Amino acid sequence: MPRLADLRLLLNWKESKRVGFDSQREQLNRSRRTRTEKRPSRSVQIGSVFTLCVVVLCVCVPSVAQDPPVVPQTPHSVFVFLQRTSGHVEFSKPQVFEAVVDDVFAYLNSKNVSLASDEFGGRRSSMEEMPLDNVQKIARDSGADSLLYLTVDRPLAKWIRVVANCYASSGTLLWTVEADSGSSITGPITGGQGLRAALKTLHRRLGEHLGKEGLPLKAGVEQRGGG
């Protein structure tokens, strides 16, 4: 028969084991509750992702609205045409007129003027007088925005005179410049000298209109003045 002291010892040992087990279980439950409180819920995570997406859209959408598509622009151009007057036909030579034609186109090209061309006949000058209406129709057919119409004359007291009229595509006169050799009596003593003097003056006066209404420059070219 077990003694009374042994029974009490056994009971005390079982009680201590139970208390220890309860204490460990309480600590485990407390640890689980702590991790649960720290871990964000799924609804909170979804809400955070949604908020981030809204912020990104708010940042991106205005930048798209601020960058409209680039619309290509049609470059402006001028159609240039020269012709002789009846006085120049009667009192001067065709070679003088041809020299003026070549010089005018060389000058405008050197200044990067945007020139339109007659795609069908390649017309840019006439040895005889041509009605202005006909020349304006050629200019419109070329797609030009303006017409630079030059007449080469041989006045009685001058070696040469060149008059340049610039018209809008509507036919409105925009501006006029004129250059001559000076008096053939008190000025240059030869026709060649008179021609060079007239062309020098013509360059200077056309140069005042470079890059302005009637004499557009090629795209990307800055105006640098005449001369």
Average pLDDT over residues 132-153: 97
pLDDT at 166 over 80: yes
Residue 164's pLDDT is what? 98
Strands annotated E in 35-145: 78-84, 115-116, 125-126
Average pLDDT over residues 127-138: 95
Q: Are 124 and 118 in contact (CB under 8 A)?
A: yes
Average pLDDT over residues 190-200: 95
Q: Which of 84, 103, 107 is nearest to 94 (CA)?
A: 84
Confidence of residue 220 (pLDDT cuts 50, 70, 90): confident
pLDDT at 104 over 70: yes
Report the relative pairing of strands 146-153 and 161-168 from DSSP bridges: antiparallel
Average pLDDT over residues 102-112: 98
User: Which spans in the chain are helix H?
Assistant: 4-38, 42-65, 86-91, 94-110, 132-141, 191-207
218 alpha-carbon distance from chain centroid = 11
pLDDT at 72 over 70: no
CATH 3.40.50 fits 78-207, yes or no: yes
CA angle 149, 153, 158 (to 5 degrees): 135
Q: Say which residue, 136 or 40, is predicted with more confidence.
A: 136
Confidence of residue 221 (pLDDT cuts 50, 70, 90): confident
